Every structure is written in structure tokens, then in C-alpha cells.
Amino acid sequence: MGGQNIEINGVTIDDTFAEAFGMTGTGVVITADSAKWAMQAAVTMTGFGTSVIGCGAECGIDRVLSPDETPDGRPGVRCLVFSFSPDMVAGQLKNRVGQCVLTSPGSACYNGLEAPQTIKLSTGIRYFGDGWQTAKKLGPRRFWRVPVMDGEFIVEDSVGITTEAVGGGNLLMLGTDRVGLLETCEAAVAAMAEVPDVITPFPGGIVRSGSKVGSKYKGVVASTNDAFCPTLRGAVQSELSADTLAVLEIVIDGLTAAAVADAMKAGIRAVTETGPAKGVTRISAGNYGGNLGQHHYHLKDLLP
């Protein structure tokens, strides 16, 4: 914490900042014969995509698309995938689309980000067709048709990619009631979901195991954020007041720095509108002293 904290509707906003990192991001559109199966494929593809450190990519669902918004006129879902480099994103797409979308009944997978730079989406996946795959180029877009047991899996040849994406925007919510805190964070995640081009990659958008860099153990790159663990209060240099029972974090990745800022604003607004009624007392953010991440989101600049 730095200077003067601010209180809004009974919730204290720390005078601190979230420290976020430059990442590479892309988007894919998944469609299916029904909204249910488009969502099923999207949920499966974005699973195990919470942290780039352990999962290879941070993935999530940006929004549900109406049939009018998809290339094939069927219900769709837009998913975002973030990693460290275009090559890493390409590898993740190959595995995730190949194992989770190709396999999902009735699905198809298209480019979900118009951008000057592109990477291949179909490489590897189309060869599942064992020589029977064919391409159809319509205008600038090439679609691969891979024969599968329920018809054809359509996968677009390329997807747009941006190296201007941001990962690791975050808010820490502190409260005196764990259930109430969780409900408040759910409302914040729902508000952030309305912001385009962002995802909250952790389970339900919420993290209970915030981390710090490093560990007492050799080879462990991250460990529990002891300063925000309530049960360690009294044993470590704690950031928590005596009445804080639980802390939850929302991590935000976005295709642009502005999108992450907008999502953080939406989250703060949702929490402060609820106020302390459900036990939320304070909003803070995680940083590393400002020396690691290129993007600093000061909470005082994001107030409703």
C-alpha cells in the first residue's frame, strides 16, 4: 500500500496497483448445432487454462455469440487464449482444438480475432482427415473440411493474433464472511464478463490461492501469498486486518490494456455497489513492486 486509501460505500479501496504483463493472445469462435454443444466444446477447450505457468496458456470464454454473428449461422461461443509467444499459442491451439473441439459433436472452429498478424489454426488438426480433408477458400478465408463420424469438422486455416495482449490484471477482495465474499466476487466476475475482449481464467473467474513469486523450496517458482493468508496472520508480515476471514482474487487477461482496465473498473463498481452487506470490507491488488510487469493498473484510476 502506498498513500491514502479511499472508502466507497463502506468498502475500502487500497491505494495500490495491479501489476500485469504483456502477453500474446488470440480468439477462436466455436459453433455447434445447439448453444449447449457450442458451450460444451468451449468449456472443454478452455479447461485447464488457468495459469500460463502450469497450463501452457490462460484460456476462457469471452462471450456467447448469436447465430447472426458466426460464420455458419449456428450458435457460437468466442474463446480467448493467452500465452507467452505466438508459437506457444499455436501449440496450445493445436492441442486444445484438436482434443476438445474436433472431438465435440457437431462442432466447428473459426478465427475469432481480426488482426494483421496470423498463426495457423488448422495445422496438425486437418491431417486427422488422413488425406480426405479438403479446403474451401471463400474470399480471404480458407476453411478446412475434415471428415468425421457425424459429418465434417470445419476448421478455419488461420487465426489472428496480437502481441499487445495483457495478462495478470487482478483485484483482491477481502472480507469477513467467506460465503458472502464469494457471492460478491461472483457478481464482480459477471460484471467483468460484460466487457469485451477479456477473460477471467480461473475457476468461475475466482482464485482462492493467490501466489507470490518464489518459495523456500528449490525449484518451486511460486508459492502461497502468505501476506494475504488469514490463517498466517500473527505468524508472518500480514496485509490483513484482524477481522479479515478470507481473501479472493480475480485475475483478468485481455486482448488490449484498455480492455483489462475496463474489466477492473466493472469489477470494482460491482463490489462497491454491493458494499459491506455480504461482508466485503476491502479491495486491493497484487503487484511485485512494479519492477516485473509492464502494465500498472492503479485502483484509484479505476474507481466508479
Partner 1 sequence: MSGLTLTLKSAPDRRLDLSGLTPKTLATLSPADIARLPLQCVAGAPTVGDLFALTGSTGERLVIAGGSDRFDFVGATLSEGTIVVEGAVGAFSAASMTGGRLEIAGDTGPGLGSGMRGGIVHVEGSTAESTGGVRAGERYGMRGGIIVVEGDIGPRAGDRMRRGTIIARKSFGDHAGARMMGGTLWAGERFGDEPGIQMRRGTLISPRIGRMLPTFGDGGVHDLVILRILSRDVAARLGPLAPHALPTKVRKFSGDLAIFGKGELLLTG
Residues forming the site for partner 1 (CB under 8 A):
71-74, 108, 132, 134-139, 141, 143, 145, 151-152, 154
Closest CB to partner 1 among residues 105, 275: 105
Beta carbon of residue 63, minimum distance to partner 1 (angstroms, whole number): 20
Beta carbon of residue 106, minimum distance to partner 1 (angstroms, whole number): 8
Closest CB to partner 1 among residues 135, 277: 135
Closest CB to partner 1 among residues 138, 220: 138
Beta carbon of residue 100, minimum distance to partner 1 (angstroms, whole number): 18
Beta carbon of residue 145, minimum distance to partner 1 (angstroms, whole number): 6
Beta carbon of residue 132, minimum distance to partner 1 (angstroms, whole number): 7
SS (H, E, C) the chain: CCCCCEEECCEEECCCEEEEEEEEEEEEEEECCCHHHHHHHHHHHCCCCCCHHHHCCEEEEEEEECHHHCCCCCCEEEEEEEECCHHHHHHHHHHHHHHHHCCCCCCEEEECCCCCEEEECCCCCHHHHCCCCEEEEECCEEEEEEEECCEEEEEECEEEEEEEEEEEEEEEEEECCHHHHHHHHHHHHHHHHCCCCEECCCHHHCECCCEEECCCCCCCCEEECHHHCHHHECCECCCCCCCCCEEEEEEEEECCHHHHHHHHHHHHHHHHHHHHHHCEEEEECCCCCCCCCCEEEEHHHCCC
Closest CB to partner 1 among residues 22, 129: 129
Closest CB to partner 1 among residues 2, 136: 136
